[in-house]
Chain A
Amino acid sequence: MNKTVNQKAWFFVIPVFVLVAFNAIIPLMTVVNYAFQETFGNNVFMWEGTRWFKQIMLSERFHASLGRQFLFTFIILFIQIPLGIAIALTMPKEGLGVPVCLVLMSMPLLIPWNVVGAMWNIFALPDIGFLGHSLNALGFDYNFTQQIGDAWFTTILMDVWHWTSLVVLLSYAGLRSIQPAYYQAAEIDGASRWAVFTKIELPKMKKVLTIAILLRFMDSFMIYTEPFVLTGGGPGNATAFLSIDLVKMALGQFDLGPAAAMSLIYFFIVLLVCWVFYTLMMRNEGKS
């Protein structure tokens, strides 16, 4: 059959292009614009080339906040992923317990982020907060507004409380999709509970876990609202993660050039880590 060439089909794609242009490309290009120029009032710009990028890459302040960011993300992944899987494994598989557990698990995910921050701030206040007051009453010298360790501890605890549910729900979905015959076959083989977990459940959960890790990586790497409300980045700069630092630079100091360069670097780090991780996880999949 002869195919006729008809370029009119492009018209169907135009609305998408327009939409993407407005919500992604144009704002992003503005940032790119700032990143290569010095900005003055009255729309006066001066070309600066890669100066801001060099400045950011060599800045100790950036290194420090990037380091804090990686440490934070690593810690919460290290806690939330195993904890999420463990909770999913203990959840009921049938009966009334299923909807009850699912609803309870979804609760933290439904609370607005700034409310989470505010909640934990009040909860952890050393003088009046339940957590803070109790810890002090038990003899711990706990004060997250003053002590770096306590600030980190509280931020991590808050994030674990807020986001572990997501890992639980994804893992639970992965577990439920395993056909009962797998468990029976393992039972017939006489495989131990541990063997069932490592040889059947984990490999079968690989895809949802990849998604869970990716989502948790991206979200935690870009975390802003909750620590901003909880600690405001303090004490000092102890919990000033990348985005908090970025906002300080852009809106606090109004260093638009370096801030724009930093956002682009930030963006590429997220993209790069996600791509590397996804490629590694999926390299053996789908070649059948």
Chain B
Amino acid sequence: MDANAVYQKPTVEEIAQILPAKFSAVKVVKTEERRVYATLPRENLFEVCTYIHDNLTFEHCSTVIGVDYIDHLATVYHLTNYYNGVMIELAVDIPADDMHVDSVTPIWEGANWHERETWELFGIVFDNHPKLERLLTPETYEFFPFRKSYKLRGSE
């Protein structure tokens, strides 16, 4: 397997081999039919995403999701290949005391609003994002409502 070649239709098995071979930090957790689940540290996110976009032809970023696990947070990326329908799920852990992660908007413009939404609801800062402003909530909000520490009425 040549890790520097460009694959238009990489199969699940190929992706599961290439990604850990190219980046030792990437761990493929499990694979299903047309699905690859992987985790990686946040330092490698941008270069891995650039590689997935350029060399594996994943042209579409479906979502950027924030999750609050209380002791740490996480961002999850779903990437789609338009030639064979394979999806990669990348999960990145973010420590609760330093909530910074690289933005993937320079790679996929479609991630722009998802990252803005994740920032305003969870407080995860996306470095190098072109316009990290509040989108759904009013600009005067001073809290991040989707954190677990923000209790809804009647939830206790």
Is B truly associated with A? no
